[in-house]
Structure formats: structure tokens, C-alpha cells
Amino acid sequence: MSFRIRVLVLVTLVAVTAVGATAWIVLRQASQQITDSETADRAVTDRVTSELLEYGQTRGTWEGVASVVNDLGISTGQRIHLATESGVVVSDTDTLQGITARPLGTSATLVDPRPKINLSEVREPFGATSKAVTGYRAGVRFAACLTRSGSEVIKINGAFGVPIFQARDSVDAQVVRDCQERSAESRRDIEFEQQRIAACKESGVAGEALKLCLSQAFTDLISEVAAEPLRVTLGFAGEPRTPLSPAPILAAAAGVALLALAGTALLSRRVLRPIESLTAAAGRLGRGDLSSRVAVVGSDEVAELGRSFNRMADSLQRGEERQRRLVADVAHELRTPLANLRGYLEALKDGVIEPDPELFASLHEEAVLQQRIVNDLQDLALAEAGTLAYHRTIIDMAEVLETTRAAHHAVAESAGVGLAAASPEPAQVYADPDRLRQVLGNLVTNALRATSAGGSVTLSSAVDGTAVVVRVADTGTGIAPALLPYVFDRFWRADSARGRRTGGSGLGLSIARQIVTDHGGTITAASQLGVGTTFTITLPALRT
């Protein structure tokens, strides 16, 4: 049996089975859903109760909750009714929307914003309970006062599971002082609290029973000032139900089955032809023909598969070309210095030249320089392959610039070049600080080499909208406009007359560009002969 027929049979069987099973499941689930239509969806219930609980816990009062209830009613499409346990209505979306209140539904939940004290690991439960009662009573009064004044309140988790309330920095100081004065506990209140807590001590209970007594005392003492528990009812009685008729579902299932049969036959013919082309191209690619591509027609999934194959082949071909260029670059860069080392070593071996400390120091320095080139090549290869390790964290570019300035200060001072860092405002990014210092270090090293005594190198950072812009500017010799497009190429140097001893490995800017790119940024260069050069790095600013 051919693959085409097997695909047709298999897909047909799956389609018919899936349609039949789907029809049965839809019929069963929809019937159950309509039968239980009065019960609010659990996700909606959780959302409503959690937002109301957060409001009551943070504000310390239910005043102003009507706006929250109205917004929840609009966003969830539910009728929401709030009432105290004694039946006093606090808010109702029907009333807020100006319609006659409908009979309540059966889905009700209790929202209790009063905190529960945790004494499980407390050695001195009496003092802890007294402190928690006094602090919470004053805090919840303070929060309620701020709410009534239209100010925002911040709730912070405190000790023993009892929250602490604070005003936002934007709240007027006079409002804060007034609310603090009004929330202070009176001596009568403190004495009453101590008497209630002492009653647990006088009861003679110990262990868990004592902690249970103190927990109940805490709840009793804060109930006077805390927002009282509310019963939240969702929905309304008599919501319309739509009876489910199986005839339309079964008819739709039969129609889908017929369409699936016709579509499967067409699909098997439409899909297999491009797959045969892809199989042939993949075989050629596997045999080493990296120029192998497939013709792509259309915009469906099979066409996208063909484009993906072509992109993969392009990537493989580019990788092969990069590898060849890298090998050629490495061979070119290492051939002459290694030949020099070999020549000196053979001369030493043959006795043509006499060994002395100065010669050995020169040979060692040359070997260190070649090792640096190899290390830079390894970093560049890892970066281009996307496997260079990054340890990202939130950093301020001002600190990175100052660290870079301090690290190169001695070199700049010995060269008679001024080195300064300027950051007028915090500029936070999410990045690897070590890699960014590596980028800036390469730029500063190049700038110091290009700047004569009496010149200056300046590092600066600023926030520009959603980006952090970092600049390294020098007053050095500059780069000719015709050479600027090549500054980030591997082994490129502005002064071709410089040797590796004075001109670096020629890989620093290539590595810098790849690191900046991996951080989602860009790096550009602008220069003018005789005036200086400025490298500009743009990184995504940290969103606050």
C-alpha cells in the first residue's frame, strides 16, 4: 500500500473518530454546563473574591468599594452583590447600573479581610499578641483614614502574619500626619486590649490551646476597627437556560466528517508532492551540496516548511563560509609571528645567537600576545555561535562606566591622556556587567592608543526614551570616512602599520559588536580625521 493511500486511510479514520468523539463530548459537556448555569465560573469567583479581599485588607474599610464592584461587574459580566453577615447591603451592580435588583443567585462566598495572627513559632505569645493588636488597630485606622481622603495605601507583610500599612510617597505630608494622629490608640483601648489578652493567661490553658485563645482574642480586638466580613453573591435566580438540541450538533458532525474526507484526499495530494521535493533536496544537502534549495509556492504550512529548509540551508552555507574565513584569518594572523618564534628558537638551538634574559622576555611576550589572539578568537567564535555565557542582572551603567574609568586610569595617566566618566542620571539595564566592562574596556583601550598626550577620553551614559545610550569619545587621530565601514571586521586596525605589540589583536571591536548585539543593542562609530572618534552603544533601558 502506497504512502499516499496509507495517509488517506489514517487521516480519514482519525477525522471520523475525532468528529464523532467531539460531537459526543460537546453534547455531554454543553448539557451539563447549561444545567449548572446558575453556578458562577470558579475562575470568575476567585477573581472577584481575591480583588475584594485585597481591597478590604489594604484599605481597612469598605468605603469606596462600589467602583471596584462596578468594574468587576462590567469585566466579568456577572451580577455582584455585597452584604454584611447581618444582611446590610454594601454594594450591588444592579443598583449601580440603575436597574431593579434581581433575586439573588445561589453562588455565595464569604470575604473576610481580617488577618489571622500566626503564633506557631513565637516564644512570648502574650507580648507578640499585644504588639500585633496595637499595631494593627492603629494601622487599619490609618489606612481607612487615607482611603477616606482619597489617598493610596501600601500594605506590607509584617511580623506574625499581621500587615503593616504605609502611605505612598505622593501622599500629602499633612494628610499623613492627620491620619496618624487619628489612628493613635487611646489609653483606654490599650488597657482593654491588655485585659482581654490577660484573660487567656488567667484561664490556665497552655500550649496550642493558649495560642488558640490568643488568636481568638486578636480577632475579637481587631474586629471593632477592621473591615467586617462580607458575603459575596454572584449571579441571580432565574437566569435563562437554553435547552440543547442534539440535531444541529449531529448534523454539523456529519458535515464536518464529509469535509474531512474530501479535505484529506486533497491534502494527501497537495502535501506529498512538496515533501518529495524536500526529501530530494535534503539528500543533496546531506551529501555536501550546500547550494541545494527547494522551490516555494504559496503561503501555507508546507510552503513555510520549504522556506524553513531554505533558511536552514542558507545558515549552513553561511556557517561554512564563516568557518573557512576564520581558518584563513587565523592562519594569516599566526603564520608570521609563529615563524618568527620558530626562527629564534632554531637560532638558539644552533647556537647562532646567545640566549639572554632580554631575548627570553621578548619570546615570552610574543607567546603571550599569540595566546591573547587565540583567547579573543575563542570568545568571538562562542559569541557568533550564540554560546557565549552571560550572567545578566540589573545594573546601573553609571557604575560600569566608573569601574571602567578606574581600571584604565593608571594607563591614561602614564600616557598623559585625560580619562573621565559622566553620567548625569541613573541608567539601568538588564545585562552582564562583566561583558559590558569587556566591551567598554576594548573601546577605552583603543581610544587611549589613538589619543596623544594632552588629549582626552570621555565615557558618558544617558537615558533616551526606552534606550540607554553609552558613548566613548576621544580626541585622537580619528578614522578616515572610507575606513569606517570596516572598523568592526575581524583583524581590522585603523593603522595598518601598527604591529600586534602596539595595535592589539584586531578582534576587540568584533567581540564588542557581538556582545552588544546579544544584549539586544547596537554599536556604531563616528569619526573625523584630526578631531577624534566616538563609539555609541544603545541598549534597551530597564522598564520600571
The CA–CA distances, whole Å, from 72 to 78, 79, 83, 92 equal 8, 9, 16, 11
Closest CA to 33 of 242, 248, 313: 242
pLDDT number for residue 539: 95
Phi, psi of 441 (to 5 degrees): -60, -45
Of 167, 198, 229, the last residue of a domain is 229
Considering the domain boundaries, does residue 349 fall inside one?
yes
pLDDT of residue 420: 95
pLDDT in tens, the chain (544 residues): 444 565 667 677 767 776 776 777 667 656 665 555 445 467 888 888 898 988 888 888 888 888 888 998 888 888 889 898 888 898 988 888 888 888 887 778 889 888 888 888 788 888 888 888 888 888 888 888 988 888 888 988 888 888 999 888 888 888 888 888 888 876 667 778 778 888 887 877 888 888 888 888 888 888 888 888 999 988 887 665 555 556 666 676 677 677 777 766 766 666 677 777 888 888 888 887 878 888 887 777 777 888 888 888 888 887 777 677 667 666 766 676 777 778 878 888 888 888 888 778 877 767 776 676 677 677 767 766 676 778 899 999 999 999 999 989 999 999 999 999 998 888 999 999 988 998 998 899 899 999 999 999 999 999 988 999 999 999 999 998 888 888 887 766 555 444 444 445 567 788 889 899 999 999 999 999 989 999 999 999 987 6
Same domain for 371 and 259, yes or no, is no
Is 256 found in the same domain as 222?
A: no
* 536 and 444 within one domain: yes
**Residue 184 φ then ψ, to 5°:** -65, 140
User: Would you say 337 and 369 are in contact if contact means Cβ atoms under 8 Å apart?
Assistant: yes
Which residues constitute the domain of residue 23? 3-37+243-280
> Pairing state of beta strands 532-540 and 467-474?
antiparallel
* Same structural domain, 369 and 505: no
Cell numbers representing residue 137 in the block: 488597630
Which DSSP helix (H) or strand (E) runs through 154? strand 153-156
Give pLDDT, residue 501.
41
> 49-85 b/e with 16+ CB inside 10 Å = b?
bebbbebbbbbbbbeebbebbbebbeebebbbbbbee
437 belongs to a structural domain? yes
160: left (phi over 0), alpha (psi -120 to 50) or beta: left
Shared domain check, 361 and 256: no
CA proximity to 515, closest of 400, 406, 424: 400
Amino acid symbol at 89: V
**Residue 310 placed within a domain:** yes
Which residues, in sequence order, are bridge partners of residue 539? Answer: 468
- Domain match, 214 and 314 both: no
Residue 105 belongs to some domain of the structure: no
- Based on the fold, state whether residues 210 and 190 are members of the same structural domain: yes
User: Are 254 and 348 in a shared domain?
Assistant: no
CATH number at 327 reads 1.10.287.130
Q: What's the total number of domains in the chain?
A: 4
The pLDDT of residue 384: 67
Dihedral, CA of residue 33, residue 37, residue 39 and residue 41, to nearest 10 = 60
C-beta of residue 470 within 8 angstroms of C-beta of residue 537: yes
Query: Does residue 58 fall inside a structural domain?
Result: no
In-domain check, residue 77: no
- Closest of 52, 46, 43, 53 to residue 71, by C-alpha: 52
Residues 6+ apart with CB under 8 A from 136: 115, 162, 163, 222, 226
Same domain, 210 and 346: no
> CA–CA separation, 272 vs 274, rounded Å?
6
- Hey, what's the cell of 360? 627570553
CATH code of residue 481 = 3.30.565.10
Whether residue 340 lies inside any domain: the answer is: yes
Please indicate, yes or no, whether residues 21 and 132 belong to a single structural domain of this protein. Answer: no
Please tell me whether residues 358 and 422 are part of one structural domain: no
Residue at 119 is within a domain:
no
* Cell digits of residue 370: 599569540
State whether 452 and 516 are in the same domain: yes
Model pTM score:
0.40
